[in-house]
Amino acid sequence: TAKIEGEYLLVKNAKRNSYMDSDPSFTYRAVPLRFATDNTKVALKTILSYYNDLSVDDFKHHYEMLRQAFRNALKQCGLYTRGGSYQIYSFRHQFGANLKASGSSSELTAYLMGHTSTETARNHYGRTSNGQPRLIITEQTRADLIHVCVKNGWPMPDYLLK
């Protein structure tokens, strides 16, 4: 389940442990939407209203269709290898690796990945050596990220200063 509240996409955490169960703030992962366009937010709301109403079986069916479409796209690009191919979730790991390789602080990486802990992104998402050290971002996004870093007192990555 997911929902949009204010400037955040709240996605229900699938992973649970006793610490998370004792603190209701861990029920949802907060993904900042302040960089999203209005059109993106409208599209997200439309998608969420559709998928949140599906039964578990219908959701699994849709998810499997998406995985098959992704697999077919990889085959067409020559990137599919049986048993060792990329998955939809691979993009999340690559994003984390790219942030690390580009010099993002643990705090900024955690913020952009929707983590409440810097340790999660640092230890469980993408190795720095697998990342592409050059991020391409718009001037508006650069300004927004600089604002977030300054506001929170986080180190400023070099790619924001160029």
List pLDDT tens digits, range 139-152. 777 888 888 888 88
DSSP secondary structure, 81-111, as one string = -TTT---TTHHHHHHHHHHHHTT--HHHHHH
pLDDT exceeding 70 applies to what percent of the chain? 89
Report the pLDDT value the prediction gives residue 77, as an integer from 0 to 100: 82
Ordered mean pLDDT values, 10 residues apiece, the chain (162 residues): 85 64 65 83 89 88 88 81 71 84 86 80 78 76 84 84 74
**Is-above-0.85 flag for pTM?**
no
Q: What is the pLDDT of residues 25-58, one digit of tens each?
A: 567 777 788 778 888 889 999 989 888 888 889 9
Give pLDDT, residue 152: 85
| Nearest by Cα to 126 from 101, 99, 106, 97 | 97
**pLDDT for position 61:** 93
pLDDT at 58: 92
The pLDDT value given to residue 159: 79
> Do the beta carbons of residue 87 and residue 73 sit within 8 Å?
no
> CA of 75: how far to CAs of 68, 72, 80, in Å?
10, 5, 5
